[in-house]
Structure 1
């Protein structure tokens, strides 16, 4: 691939920034819905094949390991090349690997292909996160992040329900095929967005200086706000994966089957949809993202812990909605904080560092999630996950004492 040294060819303003964000959000909603369909199918199918929480843990471990290993490369691609093209190629690659899952019939083959599909997806997220401030005006930034978060929440709400029905009705292969098609639709929608995905430079203007592959890590370490956010997420996500792996055994414990298992994830998604919508519309140009981030993470921790304490299944679904709403607020405030703190030519790299550190912490927890659940039980796994998540949130307290500084443009 040859690096393009010409000025970014996108116009200074798109015809409608909100239309561009809506189209990008639609692409995200469609691909996430398909991914959730495939993940539900993959997780429940492998659990039925093996009846083992260890194999379920391996599913999550493979997908999140791919994220941890390859996200930095995705961040570098997003800062080094046309983000729109990076996102389109990423979608097409993911579609190819998910299509191959249709023909896999052994647990190890399913997990290996899931790893490769996740690897192909990796460049999309940091590129899209970095592009949003260029597609939306600053006063619309919280709204834009809220809409993209709503799209994600819609996907994880509808996707698991569709996946649960498909697994019980027509089988996992159909679910994998639907997911492959969803990525192709996402690629087409991204292609149709004509706004600028990178900061525009005037003809003849100097390019930002070349930076090292690891520059995002240096920026995160130097900026106190970014450093505390990353540290809080590392602690919070260190054992939260135990609760995710415990979802299928919890559904079996309450004898609610594939539909109940899908409902656990979908209720969290409904909450995320509500929280993202509310905070995206309300936040505007208010600079209180740090407070929302801290409070949202605390609520998340409490709700996760309660899921392990409830003797009934219906209250678990209710607190899942509440926890999901807090999670939606967390996502929007986090995105906005990071976007406003980092210049455009480094933004994908910084997003990649934030994602990979949280993912590595999450993946290490997943590596022992299966044996840990067997050892301490399903319910205590939720309680421990929630307590540690809340402790991670407390690391953000110093952020409240200093104002957030707007990043320079270059």
Structure 2
């Protein structure tokens, strides 16, 4: 009996780890949808709405490098549990203030920043915990399962949250994230296996951070694809910041009580799901470099189609197309980077790339869109994001190494 229990323990530990990860991601996505809607209902201001989008994306810029290095040094179990507690404690103040009638837009912005900061450190620890938990022999299979399940959550939850936020108060919806954070903390505490590996070296945090940065900078294709990813994240930041005011003022879709808003929230996720199905075939046929060069202008074209839409149905179709092209480019860049990156640098390099894309690109895009919207309306905000996307297209096609790799793949 004891032998059976010992044999089953790793499987139970991985199941707890996986469920905790999915709960954390799901709760974070609920907040990404609910908080901008909540602020727009409070203020009716595209500027405040973009401020929330910035607050949710900015922590990766501020703390991304530090989080990756810290997570390699501390007890990852304690770090993840502590971050879940911070998320739950911060978010619960929003529905409480809403019910008391004292909720303000600055309160929501501060909580958005706090919750996403905690998620950055959780995410960094989570990256490093998996190899320690399952071992190198099972790492590929475990990561494939984790990535597949996480992708499904990332595709389903925004649409479901959009549907719920159209029927119930967004402040009430944030209680879901409080519950998921608490559940994640309990599951991580229940894991018996090791989540941290003692380090034999005695490098400093600065050197750990520098090693990830140097790898990204010295590999020309990875450097270009990471920078291009930042421009794509900027366009995505503009989309997140402008979706609610654009739907309201241009498409005639109310910010509450209108199920068409759920359709708009779901469209991008539907496109991402299509991209996840198409990517393996496209990569096998075209190669990563050719796919990047072809996908970038297609993504820009789809963004333009969404921008020109004036009715919610064509807007949904354009958003699906854009989500497909956008996600194909981004996932292609991520998988290429993972194939090229040495195992010992995976956490730091991936966290650094996330910092540049989500931490720099997304809040910059949201800020740019918010400023343009204040001056000329939400359509101008979306156009500003499209302009940054154009920069990414030019950057990719102007990189000789990327073009040369694409020609080599074509010749083969």
Band of TM-score, shorter chain: 0.7 to 0.9
Q: Deviations over 1:289-312 (max 9, x none)?
A: 444444444433322221111232
Is 1:247 matched up with 2:243?
A: yes
Higher helix share: 2
In 2, the alpha carbon distance for the partners of 1:86 and 1:277 equals: 34
Q: 1:239 to 1:333 in 2, by over 3 A?
A: closer
Pairwise CA distance, 1:350: 1.6
Q: Pick from 87, 90, 101: which aligns with 1:97? A: 90
Deviation of 1:132 after TM superposition, in Å, equals 5.6
Q: Residues of 2 paired with 1:133 and 1:284: CA distance?
A: 26
C-alpha deviations, 1:276-323, integer Å up to 9, x for none?
A: 24536x589999344444444443332222111123210111222232
CA 1:292–1:96: 2 relative to 1, 3 Å: farther
2:372 aligns with: 372
Q: Tell me which residue corresponds to 2:163.
A: 161
Match of 1:210 among 186, 203, 214: 203
Q: Is 1:125 the equivalent of 2:123?
A: yes
| Distance in 1, Cα, partners of 2:10 & 2:270 | 32
Going from structure 1 to structure 2, the CA distance change for 1:283 and 1:233 (only over 3 Å counts) comes to closer
- Give the secondary structure class of the aligned counterpart of 2:72: helix
1:3-18 map, 5 Å = none
Match 2:231 to one of 228, 232, 235: 235
Alignment of 1:5-404 (within 5 A): 20=14, 26-104=19-97, 105-130=103-128, 135=134, 136-138=138-140, 144-167=146-169, 172-191=170-189, 207-208=200-201, 210-211=203-204, 212-215=207-210, 216-252=212-248, 253-257=250-254, 258=256, 259-279=259-279, 288-358=287-357, 359-396=359-396, 398-399=401-402, 401-402=404-405
Q: CA RMSD in A?
A: 3.5
TM-score by length of 2: 0.78
8 A contact 1:304–1:323 mirrored in 2: yes
The alignment partner of 2:200 has SS state of coil
Q: Deviations over 1:215-263 (max 9, x none)?
A: 2222222222332122212333445433322211221132221333333
**In the aligned structure 1, how far is the partner of 2:155 from the partner of 2:326?**
10
In the superposition, relative to structure 1, how do residues 114 and 386 fare at CA in structure 2: closer, same or farther (>3 Å)? same
Change (3 A) 1:69 1:34: same
Give me the whole-angstrom Cα distance separating, in 1, the residues matched to 2:208 and 2:37: 38
Q: Report SS of the residue matched to 2:174.
A: helix
Deviation larger for 251-260 or 390-399: 390-399
Q: Gaps (5+ residues) in structure 1?
A: 1-10, 404-410
Distance 2:208 2:264 in 1: 39
* Superposed CA offset, 1:84-135 (max 9, x none): 5433332232122112222331221221122111111111223334556775
Give the TM-score, by structure 1 length.
Answer: 0.78
Q: Return 5+ residue gaps in structure 2 as ranges.
A: 1-5, 98-102, 407-412
Q: Aligned pairs, how many?
A: 380
CA positional deviation for 1:79: 2.1
Deviation of residue 192 (structure 1)? 5.6
- CA distance, structure 2, for counterparts of residue 236 and residue 349 of structure 1: 21
Q: Is the 8 A contact 1:309 1:383 kept in 2?
A: no
What are the Cα deviations for residues 159-203 of structure 1, in whole angstroms up to 9, with x where unaligned? Answer: 222233222xxxx332222211111223344456667766x79xx
